Amino acid sequence: MTQDILNKWKLYILTNDNGMKVSFLNFGGIITDISVPNRHNQLENVVLGYKNYLDYEKNSNFFGAIIGRVAGRIQDSSFTIEDQTYTLVANEGDHHLHGGDGGFHQVVWQTTPFHTDDKVGVKLTHMSLDGEGGYPGTIEVSVTYTLTNNNELILDYSGTSDKTTALTMTNHSYFNLNGNLAATIHNHHVTIESNEFVELDTDLIPTGKKIHVVNTPFDFRTERKLVDGINSLSAQNRVANHGYDHYFILKQTNQPNICVKEETSGRVMTIKTTQPGVVMYTSNTLEDDLELAEGKSKPYLGVCFETQASPASLHHEGLPPVILRANGLYEKQTVFSFSIEG
């Protein structure tokens, strides 16, 4: 189903046989609503979105959007490939964040809907010209949203470039499994299959140093609550404004890489990805009093799982690379699966 929004965008609504619903705009590929049942079979929204669609025109928090060309922060808004240095638009102090002001979250994507007996979806495509935002290469990218009858939301990313460039895309949805923003994410239980995370400096720029999670609030190898890091006196939790905004290097596994549980609702979300890592961001700096669909915003109202490679690899060795070679193929997948426990 589609709806016209503000006479310039389209809102797509995907629904499966279980009643699960995913809504998104062709503007920025922005996911505005994911409605899934709780243990009482009540459908509620589990992502943050604006009450007024006009607020997505700025969307400084990147709610629900496709992020690119490069997800994350690029130090000093520059990088060097094949002895050529490229200067990007600085949109966070001296640094370049989430593709810059004209990134993928700010473009209207071309759309092609599809459906079969057991799934429904839309393929979004976009061409970014050589030099846009300072990046080399004309690239053609696509992101396909697929909703299955197993309550899976599958995100398939692909891209090609006529020049060697930097590319790592992600989705920036803020999840809150309480449903309809009934509470903060302090008591969300999270498991992440990761032995190491990357240290941040005071500008939230990765230093390149990998830290083992053992005996830290970053050890999610067994289930722990997010409040552990929010209340932690650890230097790395404090530098991230009392929470998490860090890149975790994922173990390569055929099992889900991430699991999130919320006891009151009974909702469980698992994430399986072919990406090498994930930034977990606990909305530590989310402003107060934005008009969201279900109420006012505040810090710790959602948690992002930005599956991606590491932009810090442009400046440091030993991190998952973001380089896409000329005429090479970028292909990644992330699957969000929803279920009930208890």
- Per annotation, catalytic residue among 132, 152, 306, 315: 306
What is the distance of C-alpha 224 from the center of its chain? Answer: 21
Residue 66 CA to residue 198 CA, distance in Å, equals 23
Is residue 188 among the annotated active site residues? no
Is the CB of residue 85 less than 8 Å from the CB of residue 314? Answer: no
**Could you say which of 172, 188, 242, 246 is catalytic?**
172
Q: How many CA atoms lie within 13 A of 110 on its CB side?
A: 7
CB-based contact 78:88 (threshold 8 Å): yes
Interatomic CA distance for residues 56 and 76, integer angstroms = 27
Our answer to whether residue 105 is catalytic in this structure is: no
Indicate which residues carry an active-site annotation. Answer: 172, 306
